[in-house]
Structure 1
Amino acid sequence: MEIRRFAEEVLLSSDLQNKLQPVTEPMTDLAPGHSLRVPEPTRPENLQFAPRRAAPKMPAPGALSDPKKRAVTHHILANHELQALEVMAWTLLAFPEAPADFRMGIVEIMKDEQRHTRMHSERAAKLGINFGELPVNCYIWKKAMQFESIVDYLAGLPLVFEGRNLDHTLELEQAFLAVDDQRSATIMRKIHDDEIEHVAFGLNWLRKLKPDHLSDWEAFEQHLHWPLRPSKAKGEEFQRQARLDSGMTEEFIDRLEQSTD
Structure 2
Amino acid sequence: MSASLGAALRSVLLTADPGGKVMAARAVARDWRLGRLDFTFDVAMPDSPARPARPELLPPNRMPKRGRGGSERGRIALWHALAHIEFVAIDLAIDMAGRFGAQMGPGFVGDFLSVAADEAMHFAILQRHLRVLGSTYGDLPAHAGLWEAAEKTRHDVAARLAVVPMVLEARGLDVTPATITRVLDSGDVTGSRILQRILDDEIRHVRIGTTHFVAWCANKQKAPESHWKELVGRYFGGAIKPPFNDSARLAAGLSRDFYAAIA
Q: Percentage identity across aligned positions?
A: 22
RMSD: 2.4
Q: Distance in 2 between matches of 1:110 and 1:27?
A: 17
Please report how far the alpha carbon of residue 28 of structure 1 lies from its aligned counterpart in structure 2 after TM superposition. Answer: 4.8
Specify the alignment match of 2:88 in structure 1. Answer: 83
- Asked if the contact 1:35/1:93 (under 8 Å) is kept, the reply is no
User: Is 1:121 equivalent to 2:123 in the alignment?
Assistant: no
Please report how far the alpha carbon of residue 181 of structure 1 lies from its aligned counterpart in structure 2 after TM superposition. Answer: 1.3
Count the aligned residue pairs.
252
Q: Distance in 2 between matches of 1:106 and 1:176?
A: 29
- Asked if the contact 1:3/1:107 (under 8 Å) is kept, the reply is no
Look up the equivalent residue of 2:136 and give its one-letter code. N
Q: Unpaired segments of 5 or more residues in structure 1?
A: none
Please report how far the alpha carbon of residue 162 of structure 1 lies from its aligned counterpart in structure 2 after TM superposition. Answer: 0.7
Please report how far the alpha carbon of residue 222 of structure 1 lies from its aligned counterpart in structure 2 after TM superposition. Answer: 2.1
Give the secondary-structure state (helix, strand or coil) at the position aligned to 1:185: helix
Bigger drift between 205-214 and 28-37 goes to 28-37
Give the secondary-structure state (helix, strand or coil) at the position aligned to 2:142: coil
Report the CA distance shift for 1:188/1:32 in structure 2 as closer, same or farther (over 3 A).
same
Q: Distance in 1 between matches of 2:38 and 2:233?
A: 32
- Asked if the contact 2:159/2:235 (under 8 Å) is kept, the reply is no
Report the CA distance shift for 1:56/1:65 in structure 2 as closer, same or farther (over 3 A).
same
Within-5 A mapping of 1:10-159: 10-21=12-23, 22-23=26-27, 24-25=30-31, 26-34=34-42, 36-47=44-55, 49-50=57-58, 53-57=61-65, 59=66, 63-95=68-100, 96-147=102-153, 148-159=155-166
Report the CA distance shift for 1:34/1:105 in structure 2 as closer, same or farther (over 3 A).
same
User: Is 1:223 equivalent to 2:231 in the alignment?
Assistant: yes
Give the secondary-structure state (helix, strand or coil) at the position aligned to 1:247: coil
Report the CA distance shift for 1:37/1:223 in structure 2 as closer, same or farther (over 3 A).
farther
CA offsets, 1:51-95, max 9 Å, x none? 5544434x37xx221122111111111111111211222233323
Aligned with 1:182 (options 189, 208, 211): 189
Report the CA distance shift for 1:69/1:4 in structure 2 as closer, same or farther (over 3 A).
same
User: Is 1:259 equivalent to 2:262 in the alignment?
Assistant: yes
Within-5 A mapping of 1:185-224: 185-211=192-218, 212-224=220-232
Q: Unpaired segments of 5 or more residues in structure 2?
A: none
- Asked if the contact 2:183/2:192 (under 8 Å) is kept, the reply is yes
- Asked if the contact 1:2/1:27 (under 8 Å) is kept, the reply is no
Specify the alignment match of 2:5 in structure 1. Answer: 3
Q: Distance in 2 between matches of 1:52 and 1:237?
A: 22
Q: Distance in 1 between matches of 2:116 and 2:110?
A: 10
Give the secondary-structure state (helix, strand or coil) at the position aligned to 1:83: helix
Report the CA distance shift for 1:157/1:51 in structure 2 as closer, same or farther (over 3 A).
closer
Look up the equivalent residue of 2:55 and give its one-letter code. L
Q: Distance in 2 between matches of 1:45 and 1:110?
A: 22
The runs of 4+ residues in structure 1 deviating greater than 4 Å are: none
Q: Distance in 1 between matches of 2:214 and 2:89?
A: 22
Q: Distance in 1 between matches of 2:103 and 2:224?
A: 23
- Asked if the contact 1:112/1:194 (under 8 Å) is kept, the reply is yes
Please report how far the alpha carbon of residue 258 of structure 1 lies from its aligned counterpart in structure 2 after TM superposition. Answer: 4.7
Look up the equivalent residue of 1:259 and give its one-letter code. I
Report the CA distance shift for 1:65/1:142 in structure 2 as closer, same or farther (over 3 A).
same
Please report how far the alpha carbon of residue 191 of structure 1 lies from its aligned counterpart in structure 2 after TM superposition. Answer: 0.8
Normalised by the size of structure 1, how large is the TM-score?
Answer: 0.86
